[in-house]
Amino acid sequence: MARMKKIGVLTSGGDSPGMNAAIRATVRTAIYEGVEVVGIQEGFNGLINANFTPLNARAVSNILQRGGTILQSARSKEFRTVEGRQCAYDQLKKSGIEGLVIIGGDGSFTGAHIFDQEHRIPFVGVPGTIDNDLYGTDFTIGYDTALNTITNAVDKIKDTAASHNRIFFVEVMGRDTGYLALSSGIATGAEDILIPEEITDVEELVHNLVSAKKQKKNSSIVIVAEGDDGGGAIEIAKKVNALYSDFDTRVTVLGHVQRGGKPTAQDRILASRLGNSAVYALLSEKSGIMVGLKNGEVKETEIDVAISKDKNLKPQLLQLVDALAV
């Protein structure tokens, strides 16, 4: 098989801080190896619409520190159809793009996997999602930045919570996984953390909060993952007040602020390493894999494994929460 001469890079799904660093690393590594690079705008929609932009080394200057993605992102309904994927394939063949670096999460990788099965277009996935929910990597691009954003916000909330003897329920992202909630709860000293992986017992939560009040704690923070089975922070707060009306409670939903901002140094380094490794994987004739970081080293995981296996929370962290909340 002849060495690739032209590759494409796209970002898909929810944006995450550090995606631009991954784009930069992909482009400059490819150019370093004498390979032409095309930026595909608006994710898989860009494949279908041939929204292609040639990228040189200068095109990705001064983006390392920027949040979001210069290539923009979108969720494509059309790409979910056989006809849409056929159109995308035709556009790639017409433009001479021989392989893809796809930066995104499990939804993006699922679409790419189906596309590869149908049309045999080589691709390598780079995990970019603040949820940190992909199997095969210790960290995903954007997770560390989002974690720091949450921590900074909760630190500020704690100031006002202590001033008014209030309980704050702070909702963070995490529809299917509690990585952000668990880590931010530990980092901010939360009294309780509610996550999708565990069933929420509101009566037990009230008992813990009453116990904290009796111990003269002048405020409490409860971190709630948006996918918690209790219904999110607003519903949880209502249920708590229904059981114990003496609490002065407030709710803060951090929402999409968690996705924005300058990526941390850790996310910039992670994105740079993975973007670089993705190009070399393609040039080594590898496809249908995700590059990730395991124990400090870049490792490759088959994409079907990365999207099908659950990434379990460490039991030690759950135990740590109980011990530190006394």
Q: How far apart are CA 287 and CA 121, in angstroms?
A: 8
- HSE-up (13 A, CA, CB side) for residue 86: 3
Of 300, 309, 290, the closest CA to residue 100 belongs to 290
Task: Specify which residues 52 forms β-bridges with.
Answer: 40
Q: Please return the burial class of 233, using the count of CB atoms within 10 Å of its CB with bins 0-12, 13-18 and 19+.
A: buried
- HSE-up (13 A, CA, CB side) for residue 160: 11
Q: Are 102 and 287 in contact (CB under 8 A)?
A: no
Instruction: Tell me which of 15, 90, 106, 131 is the catalytic residue.
Output: 131
Q: Please return the burial class of 49, using the count of CB atoms within 10 Å of its CB with bins 0-12, 13-18 and 19+.
A: middle
Q: Does the annotation mark 131 as catalytic?
A: yes
Active site residues per annotation: 131
